[in-house]
Amino acid sequence: MPYELKQIALSTKGFMPEDEGDALFAAAIDASRVVTAADFVEIGSYCGRSTVWLGAAARMSGVKLHAVDHHGGSEENQPGWEWHDESLVDPATGRLNTLPHFLATLDRAGLNDVVRPVVAESSSAASSWVQPISFVFIDGGHGREVARTDWTSWSPLLTSGATLAIHDVFEDERDGGQAPFEEIYLPAISAGFSEISRIGSLRVLRKS
């Protein structure tokens, strides 16, 4: 990971710890070597913190990163919830809007040539998808229905050898919400994905 890009990632609003971001970068690089000439997909970009790590990996791998987010914030980002950030509210509409912040991050990082923003619901983007995919990172909404929809929408698009990375996976409910674990991780294991690495709450799996 280039030092300058890493500093931009770490200075961007978001919830990706440094060690997990580094592991995400390494997993994406590895994925591109297993399934070649296929793009990356990120589900849930927020302000672009994890996007910088993945965009750097995409550039080094010679592929594109498709960053899918409706940019209205997840449930836990809304007013009254623990992870609400008033600075991300659009004063004109009174609604959360992370898109300007996300685009500013891409500009600061110089990643506009490799990152393609997809401003849409995850399921809508998946329904019209045609590009081959080597790597999908799911870090969208953490409600059960949202997490389940991310899994059912994107997992059929992954071919043998493709990599699935999942953020905020907590086996113990005392550590965090259970939706990514129960609605994405466990179904992936049942579907024949094999875990190849873990660090913190990041799980990286490969489709057999």
Residue 164 has which token pair? 């699935």
Closest by CA to 58, choosing from 135, 124, 6, 119, is 135
What is the set of active-site residues? 142
Distance of CA 99 to the CA centre of its chain: 15
Give the separation between CA 143 and CA 5, rounded to whole angstroms. Answer: 31
Using CB atoms within 10 Å of the CB of residue 176, give its burial: 0 to 12 exposed, 13 to 18 middle, 19+ buried.
middle
